[in-house]
Amino acid sequence: MPAPATLPAAAARRPHALLIPFPSSGFINPMFHFARLLRSAGFVVTFVNTERNHALMLSRGRRRDGDGIRYEAIPDGLSPPERAGAQDYYGFGLLHAVRANGPGHLRGLIARLNTGRGGGAGDSPPPPVTCVVASELMSFALDVAAELGVAAYMLWGTSACGLSCGLAVRELRRRGYVPLKETQHGEAVPALRRSCGAPLVEVARRVASGGGVPPVTCVVLSGLVSFALDVAEELGVPAFVLWGTSACGFACTLRLRQLRQRGYTPLKDESYLTNGYLDTPIDWIAGVPTVRLGDVSSFVRTLDPTSFALRVEEDEANSCARAQGLILNTFDDLESDVLDALRDEFPRVYTVGPLAADRANGGLSLWEEDAACMAWLDAQPAGSVLYVSFGSLTVMSPEELAELAWGLADTRRPFLWVIRPGLIAGAGAGDHDVVTNAWVRRGAKGRCFIAEWCAQEEVLRHRAVGGFLTHSGWNSTTESICAGVPMICWPGFADQYINSRYVRDEWGIGLRLDEELRREQVAAHVEKLMGGGGGGGDRGKEMRRNAARWKAAAEAATAKGGSSYGGLDKLVEQLRLGQ
């Protein structure tokens, strides 16, 4: 693809990666960390947000003039009422919008980039886009990359085991294990796909037509934005998928179609949720040890044979086969068996994790971070604090919140608890007042800190933090591994079940709470993890030793000569070649 006449020859030869995450916190941060890695390797990097998230980023000062990354925005396709009702800007309405509208916006963006119209005043024109990297749920970017004739990669955001289980969901459905029942969906996800394709092409063409950067040479997309594959195909640039789960999570998602075809899902009736059926062993997902059906993915728990969530997950995972490469935020030692199995199925699998935030600059956050919690941590003894956070999507009932609060209070240990707006179903402003009052009455004053949001990686690295009560999202899991902090898991959505299964059974760095929260179990697990007396203390010591070992393994993987360091080198070379 020829460069604009005004572009210097050296700039025209620079590879230009277009990065497209699904517009939710769990997808944006790993893609942003990956963007910095590509930038340090000499790439021109254009990071594509939705207009709403772009405005949030600017309002919170997260666009740093010196980071060398270009930022572009495309519409999400939601109406104002739909957008206002989307929890953390995430929901199946948004997925619908992305899948329907994303390809057009993406084509328009790339067209603008590739004709040199993508920079600010005074900037030199950009080189063409040479590759596309997208997250899961953004598989349309693979189509766009194919249209453009450039390589496409997916940065899959879960573990390799999570991906493997996801690949199995279709088989679970075929076997009749799912669906269980209809899920209540928001209106956020479909609009994004519907509206984004044309603007994305326009952005690419505008950036390439002038304004300081070379044309787009590749597209990197996350999951849930597979329309970017179509845009990349149209523009003739390669596309890569940066999948956001573990390798085991991806493997499981990849098998959802087989699970459906074999009759594992949908479930026959609601009794299957509680009669032990979800304990059915699944032993045929390559690279994944025998797991419970209920741990493969939350999406198998449906009664609806036309479940939108189930079909989207299986389609998004299987769309990765169209990309020029699959990028996983994991490392070889952590998930060796499932990665070996995935490499038998996908010709190019790149492990580049753990993707961690830069200590000086942090990541991108859609929430205002409470810095006061760090001062509170400074005053606590080393290893004494339990950090409690359930990410940006989890919703708890008031009853679940009460059980958790009383369980934590009964331990008599210090806690830092993130209670973000929207965490408690049906609650409004002042959601955490009931928790604060309860702790004060039980003598918790001075040993608890409640924040609406915090810089999680910084918190987990703090010397005072000795444990993490988590929803087991893959970003949170890898951040805890990098910090050497053992976990108590309470999963509830998507790949969180398979992640928590690996945390407890494969890596030996955590415990798992029952789905029905009980204060007695909460207190007992905290004591066991944090090193209470007797056998619990021995178990806690073992988990801390294992956590320290995996932390060292993660550091070795990303150091020079490590598996992820080498994986990034190979990926960068492929991106440079535009294939």
List, for residues 435-457, the tens digit of each pLDDT value: 556 555 565 667 889 888 889 99
Give CA–CA dist 42/39, Å, rounded: 5
Task: Reduce the DSSP state of residue 277 to 3 states and report it.
Answer: helix
**Residue 522: pLDDT band with limits 50, 70, 90:** very high
For domain 9-351, the CATH class is alpha beta
Q: What is the mean pLDDT of residues 453-470?
A: 95
| Beta-sheet strands, E only, within 253-401 | 254-255, 281-282, 291-292, 325-328, 349-351, 385-389
pLDDT at 82 over 80: no
Higher pLDDT, 237 or 442: 237
**Of the segments 10-24, 411-425, 484-498, which one has the largest average pLDDT value?**
484-498
* Interval 91-103: pLDDT, tens: 556 777 777 777 8
Residue from 32, 15, 37, 28 nearest 568 by CA? 37
Label residue 370 exposed, middle or buried (CB < 10 Å: 0-12, 13-18, 19+). middle
Residue from 328, 191, 308 nearest 247 by CA? 328
Domain ranges in the chain?
A: 9-351, 372-556
Q: What is the mean pLDDT of residues 59-67?
A: 58
Predicted confidence at residue 542, as pLDDT, reads 95
Task: Reduce the DSSP state of residue 255 to 3 states and report it.
Answer: strand
Q: What is the mean pLDDT of residues 168-174?
A: 71
372-556 adopts what CATH topology?
Answer: Rossmann fold (3.40.50)
Q: What is the mean pLDDT of residues 479-485?
A: 97
pLDDT at 579 over 70: no
Distances (CA, A) of 52 to 23, 55, 80: 9, 5, 11
Give CA–CA dist 209/205, Å, rounded: 6
Label residue 340 exposed, middle or buried (CB < 10 Å: 0-12, 13-18, 19+). middle
**Residue 182: pLDDT band with limits 50, 70, 90:** very low
Give CA–CA dist 289/277, Å, rounded: 18
Q: Which of 93-97, 290-294, 371-375, 477-481 has the lowest mean pLDDT?
A: 93-97
Predicted confidence at residue 387, as pLDDT, reads 97
Predicted confidence at residue 529, as pLDDT, reads 95
Mean pLDDT taken over the chain:
82
Give CA–CA dist 160/157, Å, rounded: 9
Same fold: 9-351 with 372-556: yes
Cis peptide before 354 (omega within 30 of 0): yes
**Residue 342: pLDDT band with limits 50, 70, 90:** very high
pLDDT at 240 over 90: yes
Strand pairing class (281-282; 291-292): antiparallel
Residue in the structure block whose two tokens are 């004591």: 527
Contact 386, 408 (CB under 8 A): yes
Distances (CA, A) of 375 to 79, 171, 372: 41, 50, 5
Residue from 147, 40, 22, 36 nearest 86 by CA? 22
Amino acid at 315: D
Concatenated DSSP letters of 409-425: HHHT--EEEE--TT-BT
For the chain, give the percent of residues with pLDDT over 70: 79
Token output for 364: 């991108």
Give CA–CA dist 406/97, Å, rounded: 41
Give CA–CA dist 45/67, Å, rounded: 10
Predicted confidence at residue 363, as pLDDT, reads 58
| Beta-sheet strands, E only, within 312-432 | 325-328, 349-351, 385-389, 415-418
Residue in the structure block whose two tokens are 């304004």: 211
Residue from 18, 322, 23 nearest 195 by CA? 23
Residue from 71, 78, 68, 11 nearest 37 by CA? 68
Predicted confidence at residue 531, as pLDDT, reads 79
**Residue 422: pLDDT band with limits 50, 70, 90:** confident
DSSP assigned state of 188: S
Predicted confidence at residue 188, as pLDDT, reads 40
Higher pLDDT, 533 or 381: 381
Contact 199, 75 (CB under 8 A): yes
Amino acid at 389: S
pLDDT at 271 over 80: yes
Q: What is the mean pLDDT of residues 343-348?
A: 92
Predicted confidence at residue 416, as pLDDT, reads 94
